[in-house]
Amino acid sequence: MSRRVGPQALGAGLGLASLMLSAAASATPNPPPSPPKCEPTRAKTSGPPTAHVLAGDQEHYSPLLRLDMDECAKLEVPIYGSFATELSPSVAVDRELNEYQPGVTHRPRFRIGARYNSGLSLAPVQLHAEYEHDLYTGILGDETSLDAGAAFPIDRAGYPSPVPGDHELRKAYLRFSLAQYAHLTAGWQTSHWGLGLLANDGAHGWTPGSASFSNPISGDRVLRGQLATGPLTDLGLMVAVGMDWLDQDLLADDDVLLEGDTARQFVGAIMLGEGHAHGGGAYAAKRRQESPDGRVTDVLAMDLYLRSRVRLGPAWLHLQTEAAYITGTTDLAPTSDFEEHDVRQFGLAARADLDAGLFGSVVDVLYASGDSNFDDEKQTAFKADPNYEMGLLLYRQVIAAQTARTVATAADPNLVGVPADDLDRLPTRGSVTNTLAVFPRLRVRPTAGLELYGGALFAFAAQDPADAFNTRVIGGGSPRNAFGSVSSRMLGTEYDIGIRYRLNVSGAEATLGGEAGVFTPGPAFTQGDGQQLAAMGGARLMLDVRM
């Protein structure tokens, strides 16, 4: 049994632009000869504009409800709404070839927010307050699909099955800054670090030029107290320490917590190159998590992120990489031989993005360690955050459904006698795990606001995929897949295409999108009769509006 336990990073809550503005105010004893420039300078892109401007002169989003005050102080009230309709494939999930049939699902979301920043008006002191709230978010659809256990991918993490509509508080915090030297933050925040491999705020979806097949939902939300300093020196040094509380009763939740779980973690981060073309950082999180029945997980998560942006003639090349290692112990999923397991999990992600304006390319590479042995003393399966998405179908649909079905089969007393503990920790819930995947993509922007993109996802398993029930009962400990067949590391190939069209009206923004994919399973999905699982497809339509 595997369990990915991840930290919450510090980077997203620092508010770099406003901190640098405060730092600039204290850098000179004399008042500026002219009014300060309050808005950051945007890098100009070559090729057609990223949005089709219907009215006004703004190419980028700006809240319509906005009050600009003296000395760069401002108040903004952003409003956001989205709606997505998704057609998901039927997926065979067990030896009897029962199918998970989510069919058509819908994802509505309505979000409001408010941001206040004192700018230079109180220099060298600066105040920043922010509120963000999903007043309604959920997944609507037919609830008559196969009952394969409560751990089918049907929870708030955002997978294509019915989830009752609810609200989610994302941000409600206050930050007090003294120039660039000290920044004290307290309240509810989202958390994101690097590429979002471990800590992901669910707000890093498709953007112009990204060729990203993503439709994030929810995100890591923590109740946080944090002290930071920086940016300092020409190196752009920032250091932060803090503590997070995660408890659904406190409106703080992440993808690691299941219902009734609670966690707290001490975190520290150091970053270099903030505001520069090259930089990176590292953080560590010491997390203690308890389940409702008192089982404890104690882990240390370490994460390194590096980035570089260089010009290649008329194009820009952006390189990023993130490596995470998790070590510790857990009482979850005890066996007769091991009441406690050692946690040893590793994930590595890399991205190369070439932007030539009219054309561009992106390559994502991901390694996530796996675990084929359910009876040893280690848990080695690394699970990426579910909002770190790779393609439309393989991880979000196929593997999520099959691992969810394991909860029902492995708990059937007619088959296994007394079920093992903590089976609800088995499903991936859409997270990428036990994989080596390469996802190259191309994109083109033929006219203002219109982008077309596509690519092929080549996926392999880091270790032989293992279904918990079939591996123990049929394989005698030798890895067997969901159909009871001998495992293979060749997962298959997925072909995805997408289109986005962005409009801007005096700062308000609307983005229309459509994506479709076909997954051709490899030998890892060989059925009991020796036949491979048939190819399957899915598609979704999306509308996002920001005002």
Enumerate the domain spans of the chain: 11-546
The DSSP letter of residue 292 is T
Residue pair 399/381 in contact (Cβ under 8 Å)? The answer is no
DSSP percent split of the chain into helix, strand, coil, nearest 5 = 10, 45, 45
Q: Residue 468 is inside which H or E element, if any?
A: helix 468-473
**Residue 137: how many CB atoms within 10 A of its CB?**
21
How high is the pLDDT of residue 468? 82
**Rg over CA atoms, the chain:** 24
CA 201 from centre of chain: 6
**Dist CA 346 CA 325 (whole Å):** 5
**Residue 197: how many CB atoms within 10 A of its CB?**
25
Instruction: Identify residue 521 by its one-letter amino acid code.
Output: P
How high is the pLDDT of residue 414? 54
Widest Cα–Cα separation across the chain: 82
How high is the pLDDT of residue 262? 93
**Dist CA 210 CA 502 (whole Å):** 14
Residues in the chain, how many? Answer: 547
Nearest to 229 by CA among 245, 240, 244, 243: 240
Residue pair 270/282 in contact (Cβ under 8 Å)? The answer is yes
In DSSP notation, 318-348 reads EEEEEEEEEEEEE-SS--SS-SSEEEEEEEE
Residue pair 203/216 in contact (Cβ under 8 Å)? The answer is yes
**Running along the chain, 547 residues long, what does each successive block of 10 average in pLDDT?**
41 43 39 56 75 89 93 95 93 86 90 96 95 93 52 38 82 96 97 95 94 92 96 94 94 88 95 93 95 92 97 94 96 78 95 95 97 87 95 94 81 58 79 96 96 98 88 83 88 98 95 98 91 93 97
| CATH no., domain 11-546 | 2.40.160.100
In DSSP notation, 237-276 reads EEEEEEEEEEEGGGTBB-SSPPTT-EEEEEEEEEEE-TTS
Helices (H), 294-412: 400-410
Question: ω before 231 within 30° of 0 (cis)?
Answer: yes
| 55 token code pair | 């009215």
| 528 token code pair | 């009991």
How high is the pLDDT of residue 353? 96
Say which residue the tokens 């000869």 belong to: 33
Nearest to 204 by CA among 219, 189, 183: 219
Q: What is the pLDDT of residues 315-332, one digit of tens each?
A: 999 999 999 999 999 988
Half-sphere exposure of 538 (CA within 13 A, CB side): 26
How high is the pLDDT of residue 40? 67
| 199 token code pair | 């800590």
| 498 token code pair | 């997408």
Q: Residue 21 is inside which H or E element, if any?
A: helix 16-26
Residues 316, 513, 140: CA angle, nearest 5 degrees: 135
**Dist CA 375 CA 479 (whole Å):** 12
Say which residue the tokens 């020196």 belong to: 233
Half-sphere exposure of 287 (CA within 13 A, CB side): 32
Beta bridge partner(s), residue 341: 330
How high is the pLDDT of residue 20? 40
**Dist CA 436 CA 460 (whole Å):** 5
Nearest to 389 by CA among 162, 541, 204, 129: 204
